[in-house]
Amino acid sequence: MHPLAPHHLPFYLAPPSGTDVWMVAMGIFLVATVFYVGVLYWRLHSLPERMAHKSEKLQFEIVAILGLISLFTHIHAFWVAGLLLALIDIPDFGTPLRSIAGSVEKIADASDAGASSTGNSGEAPHQSTAGEPDRNVSDAAKQEVQGHA
């Protein structure tokens, strides 16, 4: 021991020939903390996408793209927009429109079948006015139209 050194050294000082245990412990703690904060950041960043994915919403792809844009550009407005979009339910307009299109298709098929059965195969079907019924549409097609109305 050096003659100028105090005879009693604090416990946290490493001996000259040994390993500094506190530095190793703090290094492990630092790596673990950085890893934990990184995982927390990724979980928070993917929150809107996970919310939209759990509810199987229509706008899931848009929320995912907004999350990627905010991740790479560091513009937080994209993340906020993705979060708000994940929280909002956009009404489903596609299903009623597909139903309407299917019904119109059935009516058109029935009207074509009714026109060909009456012998007007080369002519356009008779267009009805508001007061008179369409004479070229079969009874089944009329019932289907009344059922959908």
Do 95 and 75 reside in the same domain of the chain?
Answer: no
Parent domain of 42: 23-87
Do 31 and 69 reside in the same domain of the chain?
Answer: yes
**pLDDT tens profile 77-108:** 999 999 998 888 777 778 889 999 999 999 98
Residue 18, in any domain of the structure: no
User: Is residue 46 exposed (0-12), middle (13-18) or buried (19+ Cβ within 10 Å)?
Assistant: middle
Where b means 16+ CB within 10 Å and e means fewer, 15-26 reads eeeeeeeeeeee
Residue 9, in any domain of the structure: no
Residue 105, in any domain of the structure: yes
Instruction: Report how far residue 35's alpha carbon sits from residue 62's, in angstroms, rounded to the nearest whole number.
Output: 29
Range scoring the smallest mean pLDDT among 64-78, 81-95, 121-135: 121-135
- Could you tell me if 97 and 61 are in contact, meaning their C-beta atoms sit under 8 angstroms apart? no
Do 43 and 81 reside in the same domain of the chain?
Answer: yes
- % of the chain surpassing 90 pLDDT: 20
Residue 15, in any domain of the structure: no
Do 28 and 81 reside in the same domain of the chain?
Answer: yes
* Helix residue spans in 46-120 (DSSP H): 47-54, 60-73, 76-87, 94-117
**pLDDT tens profile 19-31:** 888 889 999 999 9
Number of H helices, E strands in the chain: 6, 0
Which carries the bigger pLDDT value, residue 147 or residue 103?
Answer: 103
Instruction: Report how far residue 49's alpha carbon sits from residue 65's, in angstroms, rounded to the nearest whole number.
Output: 9
Q: In this structure, what token pair is assigned to residue 67?
A: 């999350």
Do 79 and 101 reside in the same domain of the chain?
Answer: no
Q: What is the mean pLDDT of residues 2-12?
A: 77
Q: Look at the chain and report how many structural domains it folds into.
A: 2
Using a cut of 0.75, tell me whether the model's pTM lies above it: no
Do 83 and 100 reside in the same domain of the chain?
Answer: no
Distance linking the first and last C-alpha atoms of the chain: 103
Sign of the dihedral through C-alpha 97, 103, 104, 105:
positive
